[in-house]
Copies of this chain bind each other. A is one copy, B any other.
Amino acid sequence: MTPPASPLFSPRGSAQEIEEGETFAPKFDAGGLIACVVTDSQTGAVLMVAHMNAQALERTIATGEAWFYSRSREKLWKKGETSGHVMHVAEMRVDCDQDVLWLKVDEAGPGACHTGRRSCFYRVVVRSGPDAPLTLAFRDDARVFDPAKVYGQEAG
């Protein structure tokens, strides 16, 4: 059995232990990452989905603020490190097989998305015909901050 990536985590046990137990044994993928769904603790809206490695998860737990691992930039990042839009974790849940986390957060800023929207999910997939390419319709897409002012070049 692979030892856990942190003393805060328990080793992966049987399916019964993982699904019905009280020990936290997160499963990281081959790249060392676990997916995290982030919702607004007040409205319940899905804000974003990001990934954590073991270190990001440790820091999130230690600080109560959301840290992730950026696959594109290949580095640990604290949400809000550039923008100031820190996310305070109100509750963290784990799913049945412990390979996805769900964070309910209180946001210090107006929006979670680097494009300036409240949520990253500001477009609906629309079917226009049985074989026609799908299109996107903007929904809940008002900009709540100016990303050029907040980030300059770099998202975060």
Taking the nearest CB of chain B, how far is it from the CB of A104, in angstroms? 9
Q: How far is the CB of A26 from chain B (nearest CB, A)?
A: 9
**Do A96 and B115 touch (CB < 8 A)?**
yes
Chain B residues near A77 (CB-CB < 8 A): none
Q: Which of A21, A93, A122 has most B Cβ within 10 Å?
A: A93
Cβ contact within 8 Å between A49 and B37: yes
Interface centre among A19, A37, A96 (most CB of B within 10 A): A96
Q: Is A1 part of the binding interface, using a Cβ–Cβ cutoff of 8 Å?
A: no
Give the number of chain A interface residues (Cβ < 8 Å). 50
A123 within 8 Å of B by Cβ?
A: yes
Name the B residues within 8 Å of A10 (CB-CB): 133-134
* B121 A49 Cβ-Cβ under 8 A: no
- Nearest-neighbour CB distance to chain B for A2, whole angstroms, equals 16
A91 contacts B133, C-beta separation under 8 Å: no
